[in-house]
Amino acid sequence: MATTLETTFAGLRLRNPVIVGSSGLTDCAAKNKKLYEAGAGALVLKSLFEEQIMMDVAGMDDPSMSPEASDYLRGYVRQHKLGEYLALVRESKQACPIPIIASMNCYDDANWVDFARQIEDAGADAIEVNILALQADVRYTPGSFEQRHVDILRHIKRTVSLPVIMKLGTNLTNPVALIDQLKANGAAGIVLFNRFYQPDIDIEKMEQTSGSIFSHEDEFPAALRWISIASAAVKQMDYAASGGIHSPEAVVKALLAGAGAVEVCSAIYEQTDAFIGRCTEFLSEWMTRKGMENIEKFKGRLNMHDLKGVNTFERTQFLRYISSYN
């Protein structure tokens, strides 16, 4: 029996479900070509960070400078950063005959509408939007962070026609309700989950330090849980799993839970781009062994909807699962 690994995500046709996530792995066309040759189904380019652009702009402020000169410099920095990114999009499209997904990391919608338009003109096949921020203000209004996702999506969709993918963080009260709103406002795909910077403390130097840079396989169950729940509750939406995918088996699990693709990053850093081939080879062998001609035959087979009333993915207490351990 012949099998095909082709899948769809956010309206894009992928030769296989392994997407290389946004990172330093995808920050130049030469690297992207090698990832394509290694078998990647699609690439998410290194993110264009609003926060970094604004910090660079703030660094140009000079009290002795005239307001006109200051405005000019701020505009120059913004356009220079955007220009570099547009070149990355164009060069990657020329080098790689697979979907190229631009990535924007933002926390408001002041500049992104215009940026999104130019990214579309540069030839990107889709845009992945990351709105990753901690909500720690004591005056915070519950729900306003979720509404920010909807507002940014709505404004971008008014400007571009290419698919817009929303990559969500884990700091949400109810991801399913937000996904339903994002679907209503035109989101083409959802990625679960984005990963926060990990802080740590050096107790000898008594200073703040950076924690683990790479994800760990222990992080994967969060994506598995919520993709299973969301894919059953909000249908006709494409999902991708991200975070903690360090084995070919995890790819199969994500598809069974309801994802159409996975985004991998840390595993490639740690295992080289050969990890992509190992995933696709394992998936093909597993599908042949299970009699699955294509991914649609089993995608979502083990999501919450199909668990015959046993709501495992919403279980919050270990109960009998740890009773056998003394």
**CATH of residue 11:** 3.20.20.70
Domain of 310, in residue numbers: 7-321
Task: Identify the pLDDT of residue 139.
Answer: 85
What is the bridge-based pairing of β-strands 12-14 and 7-9? antiparallel
| 24-57 residue pLDDT tens | 999 999 999 999 999 999 999 999 866 555 555 5
Helices then strands (H, E): number in the chain?
Answer: 10, 13
Helices 248-257 and 220-233 pack at an angle, to 10 degrees, of: 20
The residues pairing with 214 across neighbouring beta strands, listed in sequence order, are none
Give the integer Cα–Cα distance in Å for 32 and 43.
7
**Most distant CA pair in the chain, distance:** 74
Q: What is the dihedral of CA 143, 144, 146, 151, to 10 degrees?
A: 140
Give the integer Cα–Cα distance in Å for 16 and 41.
5
Q: Do 170 and 145 meet the contact criterion of CB atoms below 8 Å apart?
A: no
Give the closest residue to 111 by CA, choosing from 65, 56, 171, 48.
Answer: 48
Scored b (16 or more CB within 10 A) or e, 180-205 reads: ebbbebebbbbbbbbbeeeeeeeeee
Checking if the pLDDT of 205 tops 70, the result is yes
56 in a structural domain: yes
The rounded mean pLDDT for the chain is 87
Give the integer Cα–Cα distance in Å for 234 and 19.
22
Checking if the pLDDT of 8 tops 90, the result is yes
**Mean pLDDT, rounded, for 194-221:** 89
326 in a structural domain: no
**Mean pLDDT, rounded, for 204-214:** 90
69 confidence band (pLDDT: 50, 70, 90): very low
| 228-268 residue pLDDT tens | 999 999 999 999 999 999 999 999 999 999 999 999 999 99
Task: Identify the pLDDT of residue 132.
Answer: 72
Task: Identify the pLDDT of residue 323.
Answer: 53
1 in a structural domain: no
Task: Identify the pLDDT of residue 239.
Answer: 98
**Mean pLDDT, rounded, for 271-288:** 98
**Residue 298 preceded by cis peptide, ω within 30:** no
Read off the tokens for 178.
């937000």
172 in a structural domain: yes
Task: Identify the pLDDT of residue 94.
Answer: 98
Most confident of 49-58, 113-122, 264-273: 264-273
Which one-letter amino acid corresponds to residue 83? Answer: G
- Using only the alpha carbons of the chain, give its radius of gyration: 21
**Mean pLDDT, rounded, for 145-174:** 93
Q: Which of 9-13, 109-113, 183-187, 268-272 has the lowest mean pLDDT?
A: 109-113
66 in a structural domain: yes
Read off the tokens for 15.
């030769």
Which one-letter amino acid corresponds to residue 57? Answer: V
115 in a structural domain: yes
Tally Cβ neighbours within 10 Å of residue 101.
Answer: 30
Checking if the pLDDT of 91 tops 90, the result is yes
pTM of the model: 0.89
Give the integer Cα–Cα distance in Å for 255 and 227.
9
Specify the long-range contacts of residues 305-309, CB closer than 8 Å, at least 24 apart.
305/231, 305/232, 306/232
207 confidence band (pLDDT: 50, 70, 90): very high
Read off the tokens for 1.
């029996």
2 in a structural domain: no
Q: Which of 13-22, 128-137, 272-281 has the lowest mean pLDDT?
A: 128-137
Structurally, how many domains does the chain consist of?
Answer: 1
324 confidence band (pLDDT: 50, 70, 90): low
88 in a structural domain: yes
Read off the tokens for 293.
């001609």
Checking if the pLDDT of 274 tops 70, the result is yes
What is the bridge-based pairing of β-strands 164-168 and 207-210? unpaired
Is 322 or 249 the better-scoring residue by pLDDT?
249
Checking if the pLDDT of 133 tops 80, the result is no
Give the integer Cα–Cα distance in Å for 95 and 250.
29
Most confident of 40-49, 51-60, 132-141, 313-322: 40-49
